[in-house]
Amino acid sequence: MSAEVTLRGAQGFSLVLGGPLFQLLRQAHLSDDALLLVRQRVVVIALLAWLPLLSISALEGHLTGGSLPVPFLLDVEVHVRFLVALPLLILSERVVHQRIGPIVRAFLERDLIREPALPGFAEAIEKAYRTRNSVLAEVGLLVAVYSVGAFVFWRRYVALPESTWYAARSGEDSQLTLAGVWYAYVSLPIFQFLLVRWYFRLFIWARFLWQVSRLRPVLVATHPDRFGGLGFLSQAVYAFTLLLVAHGALAAGQFASSILFAGDTLADFKVQIAVMVVFLLCLVFGPLLVFAPQLAQAKRRGLMEYGALAGRYVRGFEAKWQRGVAPVDEQLLGSSDIQSLADLNNSYDVIRSMRIVPITRDTLLQLAAAALAPIAPLALTMMPLEELLKQLFGLLF
């Protein structure tokens, strides 16, 4: 298989253009082949999950509450979940579609895949497409959402212990309201399905990179990106920034509800926040670790080869300029030997500073900040804004 044929196969690579839901959205004219019509998808899906909850809660008299501990309008978590986090999950599809395709093409455009390995590269792309488009996979996700997500995980770990607009509690028992029925059987499954489908896509991405790593890409130890030529992969993680912000918003909504209605403080969630950040960073950076063995091997090989080359060169340099082997009419000043020695030293320094994982500190910090950004406003629950500003001005001035 030629590089041109494989490149054409990689031109339209996408983690998100496929699956039964995508086809359903196309039939409903809420998407096209380029994932445009984002605004329509956000409005329709978000309102399908949130607007009936507002309407039914109003009919049941649970909108503002009265004696109800947690009325609908004061439930921060549900508004953040469906009006912030859910739209971000939908917007993420467009961003990932635009940014991951060029990353895949870069393997071919930068000649990282040898000619004999091109069929394997094309097969990895085809496997990614088949898994992405699998009806069975999305049905399995839907079953998992209804069997575990809404009725086990949410009720046990997320739902508030007080009577709310969605459930009336009596001791250890709870009875769903009409709004709660829509919440449990429609709204939550919509959100959870979109969320776990993202985890499924990240699995596809990780498996694709693992299959590419087994093709033994051509890595150059002296490449100036200090990743053997794989530096472009460190930019791939930025495609998932909105996904991390959505997770941060979801966590912020849950923390806010616990702070308002359960008497908790933000400090009570420091462990959960730390675990969330570590989990999200592992989620987006973990797939890149599959290239660590090849990068480590390229670094060891480069150090050995350039170490031997440097040894031969400096011995020749010493013999020529220190032991009088140089021609009488040749001057050291301005000699190209000096520049060659400096170039060789720079190349060796590049290899020595080469990293064995295509991850930078800046990308780690920036994505961690993206996940934490939605939680930051909750600091105001621990300190009034006026006091916080005084503290900041005190530090600055």
316 and 391 belong to one structural domain:
no
248 and 332 belong to one structural domain:
no
- Domain containing residue 303: 298-352
Residue 327 has pLDDT above 80, yes or no: no
Give tens-digit pLDDT for 42-99: 999 999 999 999 999 999 888 886 677 888 888 888 999 999 999 999 999 999 998 9
Kindly state the percentage of the chain with pLDDT values over 90.
39
Give tens-digit pLDDT for 207-262: 999 999 999 999 988 888 888 889 899 889 999 999 999 999 999 998 988 888 77
216 and 344 belong to one structural domain:
no
**Predicted TM-score of the model (pTM):** 0.86
Name the token pair of 231: 């530096």
71 and 220 belong to one structural domain:
yes
56 and 121 belong to one structural domain:
yes
pLDDT value at position 4? 56
134 and 200 belong to one structural domain:
yes
Residue 195 has pLDDT above 90, yes or no: yes
65 and 139 belong to one structural domain:
yes
Scanning the chain, the segments in alpha helix (DSSP H) are: 3-11, 20-27, 38-60, 76-80, 86-109, 118-132, 135-144, 178-182, 188-213, 241-261, 270-285, 292-321, 336-352, 361-372, 385-396
CA 289 – CA 227 distance, rounded (Å)? 12
Q: Please count the structural domains in the chain.
A: 2
204 and 327 belong to one structural domain:
no
Scanning 262-335, the segments in alpha helix (DSSP H) are: 270-285, 292-321
| Least trusted range by pLDDT, from 126-140, 149-163, 287-301 | 149-163
